[in-house]
Copies of this chain bind each other. A is one copy, B any other.
């Protein structure tokens, strides 16, 4: 149905190849024919068929972004970073939501392979190590993760160190009985480990009663989990969380249970999603540069694509602790100043 190169060629009275040359600015072409061709292209509203082009070139100028939950406020900025860099380099991006389901993730990878994407970005993959390694081996992949680097092109969010820093900060503020609301996904235990390390390094006992692992990274899950820990360990004075959503849930739980934050109990999140600073009280959390992260994974993917063979590169971003109101540090400072 659409206009083809041939149509243009015929109408312009030249060969298809000539039109092709004009479009791609290759080879010497007389100014006269060039103009005529361009004119016809415009007249007919001709658009080159990228599918045919890709079939020949072996490149589709298309990448994919696979994400567990589009609705998680962590991702929009990442997506924006990816999209911007992609567009600047002439790539379109497929958006794939896995709904936290490894099967759906694998399904998407399969479809994408079929569509011959030039590369795939995996954000917060829910695949296990073996599956992930497999995917990374069979496709050009750039990975954004907070787990131990699996695969050969990955950007890491240091969850272990982050949670250790958070927990240590709370301990320094005087907390001795701290909980952790963690996220139970394939093999990941980084943040939990960071929390535990901080406890150990500060001579505090690691009490399993004070840890709850939830299967979803949501406000609701955080809320339920917080109620659960507070029920079985009422002595708690602080709760560290896998991420901000869970922390916000914990915040709600505390309010509902009549525990004042931060006076009775401190809460700290992770990610610094836009919501964090808008909460009352504002959430203390680790800031993760999400937009930049998006740019980075996409740029990394570009390198993977360019390498066109074995490739290895691992980068870590540096989150930083943002002290707001839920950890009580601010009021302490005010107190000491007063």
Which A residues contact B (CB, under 8 angstroms)?
1-2, 45, 47-52, 54-55, 58, 60, 62, 65, 70-71, 73, 75-77, 79-80, 83-84, 92-97, 110-116, 138, 248, 274-275, 278-280
- Residue from B1, B60, B97, B112 within 8 A of A80 (CB atoms): B97
Q: Which residues of the partner chain B approach A94 to less than 8 Å between Cβ atoms? A: 62, 92-95
Interface contact A80-B73, CB-CB below 8 Å: no
> Separation in Å of the A308 CB from the closest CB of chain B?
10
A86-B59 Cα distance, complex, nearest whole Å: 24
Cβ–Cβ < 8 Å partners of A80 in chain B: 70-71, 97
Q: Is the beta-carbon distance between B114 and A50 smaller than 8 angstroms?
A: yes
CA distance A84 to B50 in the complex (A): 26
Q: List 28 A-B contacts (CB under 8 A).
A: A1-B58, A2-B116, A45-B138, A47-B110, A49-B116, A50-B114, A50-B115, A51-B51, A51-B54, A51-B55, A51-B116, A52-B55, A55-B55, A62-B94, A70-B76, A70-B80, A70-B83, A71-B76, A71-B77, A71-B80, A79-B95, A79-B97, A83-B95, A92-B112, A94-B95, A95-B95, A275-B275, A275-B278
- Asked if A113 and B47 make an inter-chain contact with CB atoms under 8 angstroms apart, the answer reads yes
Which one of A77, A83, A110 has the highest number of Cβ atoms from chain B below 10 Å of its Cβ?
A83
Nearest residue (CB) in B for A280 is B280
Shortest Cβ distance from residue A44 to the other chain B in the assembled complex, whole angstroms: 13
Say whether A51 contacts B115, CB under 8 Å: yes
The 10 A-B residue pairs whose C-beta atoms are closest, nearest first, are A95-B95, A280-B280, A50-B115, A71-B76, A50-B114, A83-B97, A51-B55, A51-B54, A47-B113, A70-B76
